[in-house]
Every structure is written in C-alpha cells, then in structure tokens.
Amino acid sequence: MDYKYELDIIAKNSKTAFTPLSIASSDEKNHCLALISAQLIKDQKKILEANKIDIDNGKKNNLNSAMFDRLKLTSERLEDIAKGVDDIILLDDPVGKIDGEFKLYNGLLVKKVQVALGVIGIIYESRPDVTVDAAALCLKAGNAVILRGGSESIHSNKALAESMAVAIRQSNLSEFSIQLLPWTNREAVSCLLKLNQYVDLIIPRGGEGLIKFVSENATVPVIKHYKGVCHIFVDKDAELNMALSIVENAKCQRPGVCNAVETVLIHKEIADRLIKPLAQNLTHKGVELRGDETFCSYFPEATPATEDDWHEEYLDKILSFRIVENSDEAIAHIGMYGSAHSDAIISKNQQTCDKFLREVDSAVVYVNASTRFTDGGQFGMGAEIGISTDRIHARGPMGLNELTTYKYNVTGNGQIRK
C-alpha cells in the first residue's frame, strides 16, 4: 500500500485545519470540546461494542492482565474520559498569553506571545483513553493532531475518533483538526515521521522498541516520552522513618508507571540502621529486592544485582539497591544509569540537598518527597500529554503550555535600522 500518498493527504489536511484552529477563540475551542464530551456519552453503546472486539482479540492474543486493564472500557471509564474533556474546558487557554514584554532602545515594543505549536503526531500504544485525552489537549492549545494508536485498541480508537469527528462537524472547527490513522503498522508510522512539510512535532509514548524506531526514523522534530529509571538516594543525614515511607510509596503505590522508583542508593553510614527495617517492610509488601554485594551482606535474602539491573525500568514490584560512599557517588550513579526523569534525595542536611538539586540533571529533582509526584495533574497543569524525557522544548510533565510555542509581536511607529 502507498502510505506516502495517503499520509500526504491526511497531513496536508491537518496543516490546513491548523491555521484557523491556531487562531480560534477559547469559546470556539471550548464549545467544540463540550460537543466532544457529550458525543462520547451519546455513543457509549457503539464505543463499548468496539472495545469488546479489541478485548476479544486480546484474549485470542493472550494479552497480559496489565494490558487488559489499560485496554478495557466500561461505562464508568467512558464517563471519566468525557469528564477529562470537561476538565480541559476549564483550563486556561495558553494561546495568546503574553510571556514577556520589553521596549527596545529605539522605542519598539516587543511582546513575546504564546501561540499554537502546529500539527502534532501522537504515537502511542494500547490505551484508548489517550485517543481522547491527547486530542482534547492538542485542540485546546490550538494544535491539529494526528493520532496513531496501537493495534490492540484499534477498534476502540476508531469508535472514539468517529465520535469526536461527529462532534467537530457540529462546531466551527475543521473536522481535520483531529485525525486518527487507520493503520497500526510501522510502515505507515515511518512515512508520518518524515512529513516535515506538514508535521511540526511527533510525540511518541511507549516502550523501548517504539521510541527507538521513532528516534531513528524521524526527520520531523520529536519529543520522546521514554522510560523512567528513577532513583532515591538515602543520605547519611536522612530521617529514617521518612526514608521508609517515601521508598515504599515510590515503589508500591503504583509500580507500573514511569515515575515509580527503580533503584535506591544508600549512604554507607546509614546502611546498618536503614537496611533491615526497609528491606523487611518492602518484602512484606511483596517487593523483590536486588542488591549490590554490600546490600546483600546486610540482607542476605536479596538477589545479587547485575549491571543490567541499574539500567532496568522494572515497572513491577522489583527494586534494586546499591550502597554508596557519599553523595558524589550517588549523583554519578544517577548520571550514568538514570533516564533523567525523576530522582530524589532524602536528607536533613541542607548543603547536601542543595548539591543534589544542583548537580542531578533530571527533569524533576526531589528533596524529601516521593518521585511519584512527577505528573501533570499533581503539578497543577490540569492534564498532561505525557512526561518528556528529552531536553529540547519541554522536560518533565507536558501540559497545555508545553504544547505551545511563541512568536514576537513588535510594534513601532516607523522605526528603521541605522
């Protein structure tokens, strides 16, 4: 099949839809979002039937229970999805906000204005709720979106996209503002990744294979939402109970997410007080412990950790431990093995904390708090398109603001350059 030809048309339609959408008023965009939310509820029956096909196919393909959990829609979940769209209506429109204003030596008035980013391609895996969340966020920020979900949820995604299309056609906005690709294979994605003429940004959300494929094939700018190999460094000056509670929370509250902790680094001077209660508590919660030699000498029930463990995003109730000489060694470990997502120190020593905040170059660096707070909702962004693990344009939680760019508006009264 000639994806290039088809995708050219789709992407060109997105670009054409972008121009009016980028300058649409907040009221127009919010009205459209309200229509979408209502239509999703109206189309509940159709959407759940489509979802059932995905679920049945998933059973045939032996999906694991975590995948079923992400895939399955119910009336309640669909209501939550619609509620999510309603919540986006309530968020401030970032487009048109003034980010700074200054007068030049010659009287020119310069305003830095937030504007919509462009046509955004979102490439994601099996979660149908992303189809609606991502579309609604992009639309609110004035961006046209091209969605490409995974094959497991294709029937659900198509039903959700069709429902959104019905809603958009009742609004002032172009129906091409939100488009779902009907193909779930890599060839189609590969074409999309090279449409620089029409596509301004690709956001891939997913596992190593997907991210690697996108990175290697894209000529369009990419902001990766990659893995979280998050660390907690328990300093010698840590409060013991705080360390126990934060490590447990960061691993156990929801082990399958990117901001869960994967490796705990322990200052050697607190090892003998910390390890026993910490290890017992975690084992009691069903966590498998893997440790370096010193850790295992304190807690022989732990599995010896290998080099691979330090790189691993377990996404599961597994946690690795390493004893370090000092904060420098902890910071160096995080720099070498971390994914620059979220890393925390637990310490009462202000100087050590300041050093950690300055020297750990991750999207979010914590002092005396769980890494689980790296989240657009928790950060007060209202909703997020994901967590960027890249350094360009946006780091950490990406909300509406991060889905915009800026331009300079300069007003004069005849100024010319001397």
**Which residues are at the interface with a second copy (CB under 8 A)?**
19, 22-23, 96, 102, 104-105, 108, 110, 115, 117-118, 196, 200-201, 215-216, 218-219, 221-223, 239, 242, 245-246, 248-250, 253, 335, 353, 357-359, 361-370, 372-373, 378-380, 390-393, 395-396, 405-417
**Measured distance CA(92)–CA(382) in Å, rounded:** 10
Among residues 276 and 358, whose Cβ is nearest to a second copy? 358
CB of 26 to a second copy, least distance (A): 13
**Measured distance CA(368)–CA(242) in Å, rounded:** 8
**Measured distance CA(368)–CA(34) in Å, rounded:** 40
CB of 141 to a second copy, least distance (A): 13
CB of 280 to a second copy, least distance (A): 19
**Residue 143, SS3 per DSSP:** coil
CB of 45 to a second copy, least distance (A): 35
- The answer to whether 95 and 138 have CB atoms below 8 angstroms apart is no
- Taken as a whole, the chain contains a residue count of 418
CB of 62 to a second copy, least distance (A): 32
CB of 257 to a second copy, least distance (A): 10
**Measured distance CA(289)–CA(266) in Å, rounded:** 14
Closest CA to 156 of 55, 63, 83, 64: 55
Residue for token pair 């017992």: 280
**Which residues make beta-bridge pairs with 204?**
123
Closest CA to 53 of 156, 163, 196: 156
CB of 32 to a second copy, least distance (A): 19
Among residues 58 and 255, whose Cβ is nearest to a second copy? 255
CB of 393 to a second copy, least distance (A): 4
**Measured distance CA(28)–CA(314) in Å, rounded:** 44
Among residues 48 and 95, whose Cβ is nearest to a second copy? 95
Among residues 77 and 393, whose Cβ is nearest to a second copy? 393
Among residues 142 and 149, whose Cβ is nearest to a second copy? 142
Residue for token pair 């599995």: 303
CB of 14 to a second copy, least distance (A): 14
Strands (E), 58-143: 98-103, 109-116, 119-123
**Measured distance CA(354)–CA(75) in Å, rounded:** 48
Among residues 151 and 215, whose Cβ is nearest to a second copy? 215
- The answer to whether 132 and 40 have CB atoms below 8 angstroms apart is yes
- The answer to whether 203 and 223 have CB atoms below 8 angstroms apart is yes
Among residues 222 and 264, whose Cβ is nearest to a second copy? 222
Among residues 83 and 408, whose Cβ is nearest to a second copy? 408
CB of 10 to a second copy, least distance (A): 20
**Measured distance CA(276)–CA(288) in Å, rounded:** 14
Q: What is the DSSP letter of 227?
A: -
Among residues 44 and 368, whose Cβ is nearest to a second copy? 368
**Measured distance CA(109)–CA(376) in Å, rounded:** 34
Which residues touch 404 (CB under 8 Å, ≥6 apart)? Answer: 94, 95, 114, 115, 116, 117, 141, 142
**Joined tokens for residue 134:** 């991502």
Among residues 107 and 304, whose Cβ is nearest to a second copy? 107
Radius of gyration of the chain (CA): 24
What's the CA dihedral at 331, 293, 278, 320 to 10 degrees? 60
CB of 406 to a second copy, least distance (A): 6
3-state secondary structure 328-343: HHHHHHHHHHCCCCEE
Among residues 291 and 397, whose Cβ is nearest to a second copy? 397
